[in-house]
Every structure is written in C-alpha cells, then in structure tokens.
Amino acid sequence: MGRAALEVADIFRTHGPAWRQAQHDHLSLAQLQVMSAIEQCRSAALGGHVLRCEGCGTDLISYNSCRNRHCPKCQSRAAKRWLSARQADLLPLDYYHVVFTLPAPVAEVAYQNKAAVYALLFDVAAEVLLTIAADPRHLGARIGATFVLHTWGSALTHHPHVHGIVPGGGLAPDGSWRACRAGFFLPVRVLSRLFRRRFLEKLQRLHQFGRLRFFGELAALAEPRAFAQWLVPLRRTEWVVYAKRPFAGPAAVLAYLSRYTHRVAISNSRLLGMDERGVTFRWKDYRARGSARRKVMTLSSAEFMRRFLLHVLPAGLHRIRHYGLLANGNRRASLAAVREQLLRPSAASTQPVDADPHEAPDERQTTFVCRHCGRPLVLVETLPRGATIRAPPAARAP
C-alpha cells in the first residue's frame, strides 16, 4: 500500500484476524475491543449516512466513526472539541512545559499495573509542582497545571510520562498575583529529587496495601523484601524532569495542546508502507541530534500491532487531568481571581470547530458544503449498521 492510503486500520484489517487468533490468550479484553473498533471504524459495519448536494446532485456516502480514544482517525475531532472548551481558560501569561518521566524499571511495573501507577504518576507530578511552587524560597504561590499522559516513545515502545502545561505564576497567600521570573519556572533538580522521593514512597505504600500485581519476570517483586531491595537503586538514580522555555503566548499553548491532548501511539501520517517485510513508519531518535533524529523503522505486522496495543489504557482512566487553580471544581472562580489581579481581559477567543462529515448528522452544528460547487449538503438517508454498499437513493424530481 502507498503512503497516502495506509492507515492503522488497514494493518489491523489485513493482519489482525490471524494475529488475534494466535495471541488470544495474551490479549486483554480492552485490547481486543480496540482492535475491533479500529477495524470497523468508518466502515459499513458501523452504519453511516448519505448526503446530497442541493446544487449539482453529488452524493457523499459517509460511514460512522468508532469514537474509540485509541483510534488515530477519531481523535482529531475530539481534540478540536476539547480545545474549543479550553480556549476560555487561557490567561495572557507565559506558559511553561514540564515533563515527568518514569525510569525504565518503574515503567515495567507500570505496564502490569496501569490504572494504579499511571494515576500515581499524575498525582505525584502535580503534587510536586504545587509543593515546590508554594514554597516561599521558590515562587510562594498556588499555581495550576494541566497534565496529559503519554505512554509511548516514538518507536512505539512503552515509555510512560506526563506533559504538564503550567501558567507562569500563581496566587500568593494574600490573594495577589505572583509571576515567575522571566524565562524561568521552577528548579528542575529540586523537582526531580522530590518527584523521585514522593513517587517511590507512594509506590511502596501501594505494594504494602496489596494494590500491585506482578507477573512473569517481575513475579518475585510480590515479596516485600524483594520489592524493598528493588527500590534501593531507584533512590540513587536521577529521574528525568524536563522544563522547556515558555511558550510564545497563549495561542502557542493551544497549538501545542492540539498536537498532544488526544494523540495516540502513532498517527496515520507517520505510516510509510506495508509489504511482506512488515510495516514501515517514521520515528524520531531523541538521542541523536538535528536531522539525524529523523529515522525510518520497519517492524513485522505482528510486532507493530503488539507495540500499538501496549498503549491501550484501562477503562475509566482519564489521560487529561487538571490540578490546583485549574482543577475542575474551582477553575472558574480561580481564573476569575487571577484575571482580576492581572487587570487584563482574557486573550482567549472562542473559535468555531470544523465539522467532521463522518459524524452523525444530528450531532453536528455546522452545515456541510459540496466540495465541487460549494452548495449545502442535505441528509437523504441513514445507513444502519452492517448495511451493504449500494447506490444512493434517486434524487426527487423537481
């Protein structure tokens, strides 16, 4: 298949049935559900609708999306809806980007305990940011943060980390606004050391309360003494916390979030081809520099699907969370207090979200237009699930 045509769905449709049968005992129900959703996405299996141009009579048959949060085709629309809601929350400030990453040994435990350890990663990263920011030796203010969970590296390996988007300042105890120093948020080394200590303390607590499970090569860690010994070197290694320079204004924050909030393990645009050798895709080697980072990798279809499914999240686990001033329970009041202190109106504006013609017509707020003549498209038929492809209904005589 050529680059333009290849999608993750093509790989699962072509190689998924045989691989699923061979690996059935090793796949979770959630992984099987993701495979099925992606295979059926925007196909007759999910039903659809027929739209007709009022001008030239052109018909468009559009099948429904699976709406699975792991599907590369469905997340762009979800991201647009989310971003539209977030625009009203933006402040006319510098925003910083902070990344908290789990070391490889902890990532192995996280894979076998996704719900517990991913939630711990979120909460400890937020706790560390809020604690250091509240310290009078640093900022001495209450801040807010939005965290996004990613579990993959560019080569689809398991690499859990959270991206934090943080306004450059906070509310001091007296209610006044206290800004960060220009171009500097919080000391990375201090964040890293506290992150390591708090995370390992709480991970050990999860173990003590029987909240962790271990299988295969990690089975020995179920024994408390073995787990305690396993923790020792982790307390001495450096944990990666990375803070980038501030974004160039609120608009740049939205542009960044649009790439990160609803991203899945690999986008269709990175796929280059599929043949007898396997699946070829682009990836970035972050250990290299400059143009040498951009590389091409070919994996067997089985290995590609295995790596893709490493990143299926447990049901109910939210991969976007808000803390501090941006926490859902007090966001509106907190942002109003900040704006009052800044004495400046919000720089955000609500932008319309482009419609997706693959959504059911009753869920759209926008009129679709014909790509040929620009006239409106109207609904002429709804296709039930599993409907066979056939000619659209004949146009009515004038």
How sure is the predictor about 393, in pLDDT bands with cuts at 50, 70 and 90?
low
By the 8 A CB rule, do 97 and 183 touch? no
Q: Phi first, then psi: give them for residue 257, nearest 5 degrees.
A: -60, -35
- pLDDT of 76 reads 66
Residue 182 has pLDDT above 60, yes or no: yes
pLDDT for residue 390: 53
For 71-95, the pLDDT digits (tens) are 888 876 666 777 777 777 888 888 8
In this prediction the pTM is: 0.84
Q: According to the model, what pLDDT value does residue 388 have? A: 60
Please state, rounded to an integer, the average pLDDT across all residues of the chain: 85
The pLDDT-based confidence of 1 (bands split at 50, 70, 90) is very low
pLDDT digits (tens, 9 = 90+) for 245-266: 777 777 777 777 767 777 889 9
Per-residue pLDDT at 104: 96
